[in-house]
Structure 1
Amino acid sequence: MAVNWGGLIGVIVFYLIILGIGLYASKKTKGSTSMDDVMLAGRSIGLFVGVFTMTATWVGGGFINGTAQSVYDSGLLWAQAPWGYSCSLIIGGLFFAKKMREQGHVTLLDPFQIKFGNRMGGLLFLPALSGEIFWSGAVLAALGSTFSVILDIDTKIAVIVSACIAMSYTLFGGLYSVAYTDVVQLICIFFGLWLAIPFALTNEHVTSISETSSTWLGTWENRYAGVWCDLGLQLVFGGLPWQVYFQRVLSAKTARYSQVLSYAAALGCMIMTIPSVLIGAIATSTNWNETDYKQGITDSNIVLPLVLQYLTPQVVSIIGLGAVCAAVMSSADSSLLSASSMFARNIYKLLIRQKASENEIIWVMRGSVIVSGAIATTLAITINSIYGLFYLCSDFVYVVLFPQLLSVVYIDFTNTYGSLSAFIVGLILRLGGGEPLLNLKPFIEYPFFDDGEQLFPFRTFSMLMALTTLVLISLLFHYLFTKEILDKKWDVFKCVTNVPPPIVDTIKMKSIGVDTGDDFDTEVQDYDGLSKESEVKAGLDNPGAVIES
């Protein structure tokens, strides 16, 4: 099959439109050296743009391709991402969005570093970063396969060009550009996929989906009940501790807006699920040997582009490809911005160079966008099991980060000793369960282990064990130090009794001429790493909160 030049020109025009919108939005941050402006759009995101960008963040290339693939492979019963992410957004709005926005944080990791210290926050950065990078790589890989089916061009070219476009406007405009392009991208996803549905449903090679419902709805097996519950809970609670979500929460004009955005995006996810489910059902109901494809589907990853290419007119398939491109870029640019924001602020500013100016941090963030994009692009091109890597990283986010998030928001007495212990326990228990997608053999056989399969909900078990460890170890060390069973000099993390003077008290002492010692400058440097709103909250409402220097 020759290159589809008409389709290629259409995609180029679409990319130019997205690039133009992204660069136009970047004018809002032109010359700005404020982290709030670049990373959080000046905390000025309103309801209209906010709902679109929050929804588009979840409804990406992995979402629409993955939902169609899941319906085709296992049936609607196992397509858990749509309702799982929707529930996650609702829970985020109810219990986390308002609290995080009121605290005035800049990134997801800020409260971790406030409570557990900069170094522990740096350690927790690793699973957060991995999730964002591998997610970007996964959706770029999906885009490459879509291009190869519909346009018959080299997947490497498609991946590289798409990544460069997303990086370019993210580089200059930050969240403003990402949010404004998300509006256009979500509209393209909605109309592009819905336009294809009537043509695909009425194609002569497609049996009525009402007659094949027993196949595409899926079947229930009690044997896999634990697995189903495990994956569902992972999507619901593991969908919370992501910077892409909290970047939008923290950019909302008010704490109330941040909640509304979460609820509206939950509804948006469910609405945007419908065309992908229908495409999966159509693929299941198609006699592919009678189409121009002339073979069965051997790679279910390309179910959606196959339906667009072989069951709809060429013009419609090109418009559908535009929808896939939009979905991929809406996910990729968000993840690149999220990863670079966390590195620039939580690693570079608070761990490497505490005296860095905001302008310096912004340039570090821009450099990080390029590095993150290059890594994600390389992964998409070279690693076949990119989806396996993403699934594993999303497991780590659930098992390792969710207990920590719950702790910093709702459990006051936890400390760094509990946090580090929980990190280690969760990591070991999760890796012990293995990962078939990566051929990672299990070294822990959980209950109901059967012929290499973990039928026990071991991910949720690992998360609960990590949470339990976090609470118990924190209580243990608090008891040992406060009861003077251990001398306070052994409080090496300086989080129980061997704690530096509270920062606000130190500042007050300094202002009246009291010598506060050599540690004063270090403490103030760390304190300046927080946003102004976080300073007030951390220093006045919680005078004991100290960031480890």
Structure 2
Amino acid sequence: MHRTTTDQLGKGSRLDTSTLASIATFAAYFIVMIAIGIGVYNRTKSLSDFVLGGRRLNSWVAALSANASDFSAWLLLGLPGAIYLSGLGEAWIAVGLGIGFAASWWLVAGRLRVYTERVTDARSGGDSDSLTLSSYLENRFADRSGVLRLVSAVLILLFYLFYVASGLVAMGGLFNQVFGMPSSAAILVGVSIVVLYTFLGGFLAVSLTDVLQAAMMWIALLIVPVVGILAINADPDRNAAGLSDILGGVEGSVGDALAPMVVISGLAWGIGYLGQPHILARFMGIRSATDVRQAGAISVTWAITAMVMAVVLGFTGAVYFQSPLDNPEQVFAQLIQAVLSPWVAGLLLAAILAAVMSTADSQLLVGASAITEDGYRAFVKRDASATSLVWISRGAVIAIAVVAAWIALSGNNTIMGLVGYAWAGFGAGFGPVILLSLYWRNMNRAAALAGMVGGGATAVLWDILDNTGISLGPIAVGPLETGLYAMVPAVAVSLLGIVVFRFAGRATLQMHDDFDRVEREFTGSPGVLKR
């Protein structure tokens, strides 16, 4: 659908009032976030408190924290922008994610909560109380060499740098859109706020702020499309668009949406939920396995309704704006400014900021725990004091934020591009390994290592192979130009590696005993569905 006229989004005093409203609401939001961090500062006394909140999240906090830490800028900026630009074809991503998100609660959450606490410590014996995915994998597969822990921690750090950078890119675009602030300055301001309250309160502060952020995001997604549709219905020129034009977005077509590669690639995004450490951390931090059922119902309901509203918002923007936007990923922000009063617009723009921050804080925290728990404590000083581990984690939060900000400032990055890269890396590197570790009694260390390395490496290399090709001396491969999302081949390689390399090792008697003990505890827990 091609546009030829230009919308004016506000002039004179309205623009001034809108800017003032945005400043006021942003400032209030920042103050609340920092206050929460300060409020739980004294409750963060151990590494378990800092990285998992002491495993005491109730159903509502765990559910909404999982949503806020996941959907973030992708939901409010990336997905509506993709729908606005390309139409219905991008909606397959939302369908795949809805299925995958429900599956992660159903298949993974309860068992992972029990297994991470009960699995035998590979180095010292007894219940391990694994605080990270890396430590869980080491203990689950009785790996005393530390190889599994090291490889998984490296993958986590690598992909989180790009994931956090996606949030900072979104932050820069938002501040530029609302205040005219240079993106580089906006990135530095935003990351400073996120680091501050994450630094102070750790997992508990992040989870509590996530509840507020999830509520703000959902309300914003409800209000803006409704008001936008009413504005379109009141304007005969905008209301004249045909259905095929609407569903095709600004540049796409309905036919594109049914292309096999588009459908497969979109649905494949759902697989990623099985391996996202910042979401799995909420499963590990929930109060008990008996809380999983209620938390899952709350979380999945929020997620599906929010994604439907985000898709509708993208189509609404495609009809409302009669000339193509310079930055499609700002369609939500521009629609807010165009159809709502200044003070309401300021509040809802703060909701977008909430979405960005709610994922960046969680990812910083998981990355920091990989450095502290899976690096320093595992390989440098196993008997480090609780206080020193907390402070090392806080320092790691700052270090990861600095590197991610550098990636964000390097330019030429889109939110969907950065998220897609990290999502495929986590989904393929950890998804099959985590899922099978919870259900396959005879899975072993060699299989897990092959699955992680094969899946993670394929996720990194696929885009290069598919788009530009790889040349090794006289041997040249590609470009394949399939347009297939990296998740599909990467998960296939991961599963193949697990099956083939399962014969290169064996499960120990202790691993069998742990599996049977966890299975008995999980299936015998009141309120937990038996499977």
> Shared fold by TM > 0.5?
yes
Cα distance between partner residues in 1 of 2:205 and 2:71: 18
Partner of 1:106: 131
Structure 1 match to 2:307: 273
Determine the structure 2 residue equivalent to 1:74: 86
Provide the aligned length of Structure 1 versus Structure 2: 479
Task: Tell me how far 1:297 sits from its aligned partner.
Answer: 2.0
- In structure 2, the partner of 1:288 is 322
Which consecutive unaligned segments of at least 5 residues does structure 1 have?
290-295, 479-494, 504-532, 542-549
* Cα displacement (A) at 1:280: 1.1
**Is 1:365 matched up with 2:419?**
no
Give the CA deviation at 1:424: 4.2
What is the deviation of 1:141?
0.7
1:424-452 alpha-carbon deviations (Å, 9 max, x no partner): 44355445532499x653569xxxx9985
- Asked if 2 retains the 8 angstrom alpha-carbon contact of 1:212 and 1:285, the reply is no
User: Please, what TM-score do these two structures have when normalized by structure 1?
Assistant: 0.77
Contact 2:220 2:348 in 1 (8 A): yes
Q: Residue in 1 aligned with 2:263?
A: 228
Alignment match, 2:284: 250
Q: Between 186-195 and 465-474, report the one with greater CA deviation.
A: 186-195
Structure whose CA Rg is larger? 1
Matches within 5 A, 1:203-222: 211-218=241-248, 219-221=254-256
**Aligned pair in 2 of structure 1 residues 102, 210: CA closer, same or farther (>3 Å)?**
farther
| Residue 212 of structure 1: how far off its partner (Å) | 3.6
Greater mean deviation of Cα atoms: 412-421 or 344-353? 412-421
Asked if 1:433 is matched to 2:462, the reply is yes
Inter-partner Cα distance in structure 1 for 2:335 and 2:175: 13
1:411 Cα deviation (Å)? Answer: 2.5
**1:366-405 alignment runs, 5 A limit:** 366-385=394-413, 387=415, 388-405=417-434
1:420 aligns with 2:449: yes
Provide the C-alpha distance between the structure 2 equivalents of 1:4 and 1:381, rounded to a whole number of angstroms: 28
Deviation at 1:5, TM superposition (A): 7.2
After TM superposition, which residue ranges in structure 1, 4 or more long, deviate above 6 angstroms? none
TM-superposed CA distance for 1:207, in Å, is 5.3
Give deviations 1:262-320, integer Å, cap 9, x for gaps. 3321210122224422321122113534xxxxxx3233222222222334443343233
Relative to structure 1, is the Cα distance of residues 477 and 56 closer, same or farther in structure 2, using a 3 angstrom cutoff?
Answer: closer
Point out the more displaced range, 6-15 or 464-473. Answer: 6-15
Is 2:69 the partner of 1:57?
Answer: yes
CA RMSD of aligned residues (A): 3.5
Moved more, 95-104 or 209-218: 209-218
Aligned to 1:241: 275
Alignment of 1:305-316 (within 5 A): 305-316=333-344
When residues 147 and 47 of structure 1 are mapped into structure 2, their CA distance, relative to the original with a 3 A threshold, is: same
Q: Deviations over 1:246-276 (max 9, x none)?
A: 2211121111213432332121012222442
**Stretch deviating more after TM superposition (245-254 or 117-126):** 117-126
Kindly indicate whether structure 1 or structure 2 has the higher relative contact order, using CA contacts under 8 Å at least 6 residues apart.
2
Matches of 1:55 and 1:458, distance apart in 2: 24
Work out the CA distance in 2 between the residues paired with 1:351 and 1:231: 40
| Compared CA separation, residues 312 and 369, structure 1 to 2 (3 A) | same
> Contact (CA 8 Å) 2:90, 2:257: kept in 1 or not?
no
Please state how far the C-alpha of 1:171 moved relative to its aligned partner: 0.8
Partner of residue 384, structure 2? 356
Aligned counterparts of 1:251 and 1:430: Cα–Cα separation in 2: 28
- Residue 120 of structure 1 aligns to a residue whose secondary structure is helix
* Equivalent in the alignment of 1:520: none
Out of 121, 126, 131, the residue aligned to residue 149 of structure 2 is 121
Name the SS of the counterpart of 1:298 in structure 2: coil
1:317 corresponds to which residue?
Answer: 345
Q: Is the 8 A contact 2:36 2:208 kept in 1?
A: no
- Could you say which residue in structure 1 is the equivalent of 2:8? none
Relative to structure 1, the CA distance from residue 537 to residue 22 in structure 2 (aligned partners, 3 Å threshold; closer, same or farther) is farther
Letter in 2 for 1:402: G
For the residues of structure 2 that align with 1:192 and 1:180, how far apart are their CA atoms?
19
Give the letter aligned to residue 216 of structure 1: I
Identity in percent: 18
Contact 1:107 1:246 in 2 (8 A): no
Counterpart of 2:32 (choices 16, 20, 32) is 20
User: Is the CA contact (8 Å cut-off) linking 1:22 and 1:180 kept in structure 2?
Assistant: no
Q: Which runs of 5+ in 2 are unaligned?
A: 1-10, 118-129, 249-253, 523-531
Residue 525 of structure 2: aligned partner: none
Partner of 1:333: 361
Task: Pick one of 154, 175, 185 that aligns with 2:182.
Answer: 154
Corresponding residue to 2:161 among 112, 133, 152: 133
TM-superposition CA deviations, 1:60-115 (whole Å, max 9, x none): 11221112112112213422343333322221122111111112232222221111
Q: Contact 2:48–2:54 at 8 Å: present in 1 too?
A: yes
Structure-2 change in CA distance of 1:22 and 1:49 (3 Å): farther
